Amino acid sequence: MWGLFFLLLVSGSVQGAAPNAAGIASAHPLATEAGREVIEAGGNAFDAAVAVSAALAVVEPYSSSLGGGGFWLLQRASDGRQVMLDGRERAPLAAHRDLYLDEAGEVVPGRSIDGALAAGIPGEPAALVHLAEHYGRLPLSRSLAPAIRLARDGFPVDRHYRRMAEWRLDALRSSPAAAGQFLHDWEIPAEGELIRQPDLASTLQLLADKGRDGFYAGELAQRLVKGVRDAGGIWSLQDLQQYQVVEREPIRGRYGELKIISAAPPSSGGVVLVTMLNILEGFQIDNLPRVQRVHLMIEAMRRAYRDRADYLGDPDFVDMPLQALTHPWYAAGLARDIQLERATPSTPQPVSKATEGADTTHFSIIDREGNRVAATLSINYPFGAAFVPAGTGVLLNDEMDDFSARPGVPNVYGLVGGEANAIGPGKRMLSSMSPTFVESDAGVAMLGTPGGSRIISMVLLAILELADGQPIAQWVRQPRFHHQYLPDRVEYEAGAFDDKTVTELQSMGHILHRLEREYGNMQALYWDRRSGQVTGASDPRGSGRTVIW
């Protein structure tokens, strides 16, 4: 009897057993609707995750695709199982560490970003099949139905679509199949015009009918490989056949009363996040004046991002001291050289060319049984590699740029890396995507965002707002700032710091860089365990939609 009581106490099951509503927060209203439709048809949160992922691949082609990958963090209510589905792209087997270098050993600009050679082997189709078969309740034919409809009948172009297409116009024009799918007569379609994707509808139908083999074998696989090779890429049928989703144990940490559950390698997200929180916990930042608090947050970011470059990569290829990196004692060591009044300079490196991305996508889902999903999906750059193999409708990623093309040379997000993230055949490239759960006796949050290297600091800022008891709208809305060790500067959105804070941070030695544009597109849900209530918020910077019903 006492044993059972103790068990209930440590497992936390004494709280409210289930939410009194279901909720979905995604970056596109049509994707949120697709998820709701599937839950109403008797599906659970995992079926809805299939529906939302597939719909996003149709209506947000600049953010994610069947030709891309992602991480789906899951909690199954029936047994409390928490797992991260790793559907990250892999380097083709013919890839090698110098793939993007010229004869002089210099990185060739654009080669890991535009066109067929930039594409890793997609993981999203395999992940959707895995989700449906192992966690869902409905057949793929049902959970993929909304996406198939959207691909066949079309969705209307909005301002954001036009902006992203403008950004990638030249690259899109160099792939006839991509231009045919996403442009009208080689031009950016006007707002309100419909994007119909009949080839993508057929590919989704194949996935619904044949599961994994619909994509990774047979005629579609042959078309994918032929299209890639004809355009100078290096995929083989064996690459597609060998692709496997991996179930990984999430990274876990604590911040006061809060339990953090986040993405494991090959994402750096969970490790960097937990390191930052561990450093901050040592300083008890709650009671500090704002400028002191910001200073310590910057210093925590600086140190955790430095470790990212030094240690992290694909766990199937690289030994990583994960337990040490996420341990409070290790953070205490990192914190030892933090000065309370002075910025620590990062070791100088060539100036990077970090860009501000608004692509990649996150969604959060909870159903009335308490099953939950936080998923971040990507094709990397807007419209990925901007390349579609003819007759497939599948827009390919340029996730190969997330590898370190050469030690010390920054990628599009200004991130540098070393040996651990060097290109290798079949290897997964290091990511920053950080789908995260935050749990306490009071409730459970599900959150994440796009934003390249800034993803992890955005999730940190949101967790600190949660810890401060701020409402969910504030987690996603707050003006943001970021430091990633290199370049050695604090990037911030308008409104993040008042004039006094700017002056004081500068006098401590911080180099401040105010961004022209806002960044991120966070989608968050919260289940209050005591009342059963579910709340949610979509980042006002994007055009996402949250529904709770």
> For 231-364, where are the alpha helices, taking DSSP H only?
237-242, 269-281, 290-311, 322-325, 328-335
Residue with tokens 């015009």: 193
Cα separation, 476 vs 464, whole angstroms: 12
373, two tokens: 């999903």
Kind and range of the H or E element at 501? helix 499-507
**CB 65 → ligand DON: shortest distance, Å?**
12
**CB 484 → ligand DON: shortest distance, Å?**
12
Measure Cα distances from 513 to 37, 289, 491 in Å.
44, 22, 5
Contact 405, 398 (CB under 8 A): no
Q: Choose between 27 and 144: whose C-beta lies nearer to ligand DON.
A: 27
Q: Choose between 51 and 456: whose C-beta lies nearer to ligand DON.
A: 456
Q: Judged by CB under 6 A, which of 359, 367, 465, 518 binds ligand DON?
A: 359
If we measure between CA atoms, which residue out of 462, 448, 447 comes closest to residue 525? 447
431 is in an annotated binding site: yes
The answer to whether 392 is a known catalytic residue is no
121 is in an annotated binding site: no
Question: Cis ω on the peptide bond leading into residue 487 (within 30° of 0)?
Answer: yes
**CB 313 → ligand DON: shortest distance, Å?**
13
Q: Judged by CB under 6 A, which of 358, 366, 423, 447 binds ligand DON?
A: 358
Selecting among 326, 360, 392, 436, the annotated active-site residue is 360
Instruction: Output the 3-class SS for 218-253.
Output: HHHHHHHHHHHHHCCCCCCHHHHHHCCCEEECCEEE
If we measure between CA atoms, which residue out of 361, 401, 485 comes closest to residue 49? 361
| Residue whose CB is nearest to ligand DON in the complex, by number | 357
Q: Choose between 165 and 433: whose C-beta lies nearer to ligand DON.
A: 433
Q: Which of these ranges, 95-103, 355-363, 385-393, 500-508, lies near ligand DON under the rule CB under 6 A? A: 355-363
Q: Which of these ranges, 128-136, 219-227, 295-303, 449-457, lies near ligand DON under the rule CB under 6 A? A: 449-457
Q: Choose between 295 and 362: whose C-beta lies nearer to ligand DON.
A: 362
**CB 290 → ligand DON: shortest distance, Å?**
27
Sign of CA dihedral 171, 173, 178, 182: positive
Contact 225, 240 (CB under 8 A): yes
Identify residues 390-409 at the interface with ligand DON (CB under 6 A). 399, 402
Amino acid symbol at 51: A
Q: Which of these ranges, 90-98, 446-454, 529-537, 541-549, lies near ligand DON under the rule CB under 6 A? A: 446-454
HSE, side-chain direction, 13 A CA sphere, residue 442: 8
- The number of residues that bind ligand DON (CB under 6 A) is 15
Q: Choose between 221 and 415: whose C-beta lies nearer to ligand DON.
A: 415
**CB 440 → ligand DON: shortest distance, Å?**
28
Measured from the Cβ of residue 105, the count of other Cβ atoms closer than 10 Å reads: 8
Q: Which of these ranges, 53-61, 448-456, 485-493, 494-502, lies near ligand DON under the rule CB under 6 A? A: 448-456
51: CB partners within 8 A, 6+ apart: 34, 35, 37, 38, 43, 143, 144, 145, 146, 147
Q: Is 452 one of the binding residues for ligand DON (CB under 6 A)? A: yes
Contact 504, 523 (CB under 8 A): no
String of contacts with ligand DON for each residue 454-483, x by CB under 6 A: -x----------------------------
- Contact footprint for ligand DON (CB under 6 A): 357-360, 378, 380, 399, 402, 431-433, 450-452, 455
Enzyme catalytic residues: 360
Show binding-site residues: 88, 378-380, 402, 431-432, 452
Show binding-site residues for L-glutamate: 88, 378-380, 402, 431-432, 452
